Structure 1
């Protein structure tokens, strides 16, 4: 035939564009010249064994090119979808990593805050346990330590006297445990406290007591009311500082209070 038909399976194009162009040109030539309709038709009618258009390879070329295009588009779509899935997976992994880091940071911050709060609480407790106050608020020393006179069996004053009207609140000077509470002979109603540093303080001549043996007290806690019980010439508070619980272990109470930060 004048149109130059090609045998199927023998053609091998250099590119997809050239194959498509050649196929389209072949089909167009057949359609415009009318060779198949006007000239070849009688021959085809006479000879049923003559090859059809599909058998010449023209249509096969066009169909193959279209199928290849579809496969390439599908492959590109699959590639894009795979890349999108990979990107999403990476984004989710990064988000999880950021969330984990944020959680670790928050936990570390919370732990730091808890530790700081615990340290502050311990420091506050330490201060509370080591804080000392005057036994009577706003009072003054009326009789000094070591003063001589016949009123004291030892011949000298073993403590200091704080001026106080009867019924004035008497406070523990520091935290500790009550080791004596009741009648103390010449001391009248008295209280003895063992403090956390191993020292002792005594409060004498009180009118009434508000604590009992074994009770824990804190600095500034009321332990009784001042009075004039025992060997006393009038209402006041007799205060002693001691190295032991018993009489005779006294130390300078004014120096003792000042060494604990009490301004008297």
Structure 2
């Protein structure tokens, strides 16, 4: 029987073959190891760099996005604050305008109320004066020729307007067509054109004195007519030698010019306040 040598994987390599294979393997491993060793760091570095690079971009994009969102939030917040401030400013301005309008309205109401009160007070004073005149007229029989008036030109006032060189009566302030009354009961002795006096009326009273009313716009009595104290006899005007509407009043001892006496003293002697 012949001897058969084992084959296949069960065959044990010879020493030389094993040594050669080992050397070759070592060489191969060495080569692969070296190459691997040399290549691995490079590959590793390249991969790491790529990974780091990619990670850096991602991080940059992420940070950029976060910053953008933060800026957007800040801009939105600022816009809201600006809008809020503007709304508050508008509200304050509107409130100030409303307050000013209310103040103007209140001031106007106060002014109107004060004017109405002043007018009411004047009316009450006029009524009181008329009532006092009526009372005095009842007691003394005399009243003032114009209600609620005052003396604008005194007796014996000098000036070129008067032919005698001085005022022979007194002027009562009176607008056009103000009622003129007889100061006492009496009889009309003159009613017509009196020259420089314009339209004038002269009345003789029971005590023998006379009163004269000049520069009248119109007359409502005639010569020979009897009148009572306080009776309206004419409307004031500016006829004759006159610079404007008023009532010229004289107290006389006779019916004619030149018989004048102090009219203020005359009226006061009959209880009238002039």
TM-score (ref. length: structure 2): 0.50
Matches within 5 A, 1:139-150: 139-150=149-160
Q: Distance in 1 between matches of 2:139 and 2:252?
A: 18
Residue of 205, 208, 217 corresponding to 1:207:
217
Runs of 4+ in 1 over 2 A off after TM superposition: 127-130
Partner of 1:182: 192
Unaligned 5+ residue runs, structure 1?
Answer: 1-126
Partner of 1:220: 230
Q: Distance in 1 between matches of 2:272 and 2:229?
A: 12
| Mapped pair 1:261 → 2:271 | yes
CA contact (8 A) 2:176 2:217 kept: yes
Q: Distance in 1 between matches of 2:168 and 2:183?
A: 18
Higher Cα radius of gyration: 2
Shift of 1:134: 0.3
Matches within 5 A, 1:59-78: none
Partner of 1:244: 254
Q: Deviations over 1:25-50 (max 9, x none)?
A: xxxxxxxxxxxxxxxxxxxxxxxxxx
Matches within 5 A, 1:108-127: none
CA contact (8 A) 1:191 1:204 kept: yes
| Higher share of residues assigned helix | 2
Matches within 5 A, 1:42-57: none
Unaligned 5+ residue runs, structure 2?
Answer: 1-136
TM-score (ref. length: structure 1): 0.51
* CA RMSD between the two structures: 1.1
Q: Distance in 1 between matches of 2:259 and 2:194?
A: 16
CA contact (8 A) 2:140 2:271 kept: no
Shift of 1:130: 4.4
Helix, strand or coil at the partner of 2:188 = strand
Q: Distance in 1 between matches of 2:189 and 2:140?
A: 19
Residue of 137, 148, 152 corresponding to 2:147:
137
Helix, strand or coil at the partner of 1:238 = strand
Partner of 1:170: 180
Helix, strand or coil at the partner of 2:267 = helix
Q: What is the number of residues matched between the two proteins?
A: 138
Shift of 1:247: 0.4
Q: Distance in 2 between matches of 1:137 and 1:211?
A: 19
Helix, strand or coil at the partner of 1:132 = coil
Q: Distance in 1 between matches of 2:266 and 2:178?
A: 23
Helix, strand or coil at the partner of 1:204 = strand
